[in-house]
Amino acid sequence: MRPSRPTIATRGGRSARRRTSPVFAAAGLAAVLALTATGCGPSGEEDNASGEPSATTSQAADGKIVIPDHLKDRLKEHGVDLDKWKGGAWKDWSRDDWLREAEDYINPIIEDLWDPERMREAEQPDKPVDNDISGDEGVTDPTPAPVQAQPVKTPYTTNTPEAGKLFFDGPQGSMVCSATVVKDPAHPGKSNMVWTAGHCVHAGKKGGWYRNIAFVPSYNDTGKSAKELDAAPKNEKEIMPHGVWWGDWAQTSEQWIAQGGPTGGDGAPYDYAVLHVTPEKGKGDGKSLEETVGSALPVEFNAPAAPQIPSMTATGYPAAPPFDGQKQYQCADKPGRLSIKAGDPTMYRIGCTMTGGSSGGGWTALGQDGKPALVSNTSIGPVTAGWLAGPRLGTEAKGIYDTVSGKFAGQ
């Protein structure tokens, strides 16, 4: 499925794409990318990295980005000659091309962008994937029987403190996914890392990075319905008990970037992403995300194959009917195997009736130490079939996780 409007299995995220040019590391170029490819503020003007409106860049009638000479001169001061970069091919790029080509993730914080009303309006389910995506190659077990999703007990802050909802803007408007707070080996007990699906941060082979990505742990803590929330007085503490955490870095797999699509199984075995987050400006108390929510899950890489795992539990905020996107649900089932195509890792698959919006939500099982660990995330699952599939986390996933942790190790 897709995220709602990313939903269950859209895929997209930032790849552990290695930097192929030193140009991408330049602070000056990052500034230009921020100016040309970030989200719009309330006025409709583009926001730069400081969050203030900027009119220093423009867009031609054909959609191409125009960078003024004075910005080019500033870049040259940093050793970046834009006229020579990419052989000048960037001059023909559209805004989406900039987003796709940027090696540095850019997501400037726009204060108060995600208020409770805008969050509720983001529940717009996308199309499910085709039912027949596995083919006859690889190892695929019989389709599991549907497992009815059960509402998580409230308050979420006590029962599922690591789980939350992810919000972001894409070409079709505001969208939602689910996500999980995970441990950071570089900052024991003080993690600011979040696990989700690749398709919840990047559109895949025909798109680029999503914008205004923000994580809300324990969203709608008391589990009110959309109707109840609409009728109740605005209560930000109830909707976002731990505040809004903006993604200041994201990575997904190279395979998702190259293969991922809006429907079907392309890229699904590598559909995972890691975010590093920071509290909205002026609203943090100096504590990390893990300290704030009181918990974070370890990530189990190279977990056993499906037949060796007695049970997995998927958690998320399903938004497509019959769900409304406001409540947290779970499915627990013994996993089976799903092979998308030969040569790709076999995915885990469980019976579950959760729909779009639960994409990116964490799958847990008992780790090697006998305690719950994150072993996968929701990637795909046709609504009509009553099942979900998630990637098996191996070397590629660990590389992304370690890279994000290492990037912020000294901070």
Taking only the tens place, the pLDDT of each residue in 16-69 is 333 333 333 333 344 444 433 333 222 222 222 222 222 334 455 555 666 667
Same domain flag for 172 and 85: no
Taking only the tens place, the pLDDT of each residue in 180-232 is 999 999 999 999 999 999 999 998 987 889 989 999 999 999 999 988 888 87
Written as six digits, the tokens of 395 are 């070397």
Same domain flag for 88 and 153: no
Q: Is the pLDDT of residue 76 over 80?
A: no
Domain count, the chain: 2
pLDDT at 195: 98
Same domain flag for 205 and 250: yes
Taking only the tens place, the pLDDT of each residue in 315-359 is 999 998 899 999 999 999 999 999 988 778 899 999 999 998 999
Spell out the alpha helix ranges (H) of 78-167: 95-101, 116-121, 156-159
pLDDT at 9: 37
pLDDT tier at 123 (50, 70, 90 boundaries)? low
Is 1 inside any structural domain? no
The percentage of residues in the chain with a pLDDT greater than 70, rounded to a whole number, is 70
pLDDT at 74: 65
- Long-range contacts, 80-89 (Cβ 8 Å, 24+): 80/23, 80/26, 80/28, 80/29, 82/29, 82/32, 85/21, 85/23, 85/29
Count of Cβ atoms closer than 10 Å to residue 127 Cβ: 16
Boundary-marking domain end, from 68, 101, 134: 101
Boundary-marking domain end, from 41, 68, 101: 101
Domain that holds residue 397: 116-407
Same domain flag for 237 and 348: yes
Is 138 inside any structural domain? yes
Same domain flag for 220 and 360: yes
Is 109 inside any structural domain? no
Which amino acid, 335? P
Is 108 inside any structural domain? no
Same domain flag for 141 and 82: no
pLDDT tier at 100 (50, 70, 90 boundaries)? low
Is 26 inside any structural domain? yes
Closest CA to 32 of 1, 74, 84, 61: 74
Is 310 inside any structural domain? yes
Boundary-marking domain end, from 101, 129, 154: 101
Closest CA to 36 of 253, 189, 209: 209
Is 17 inside any structural domain? no
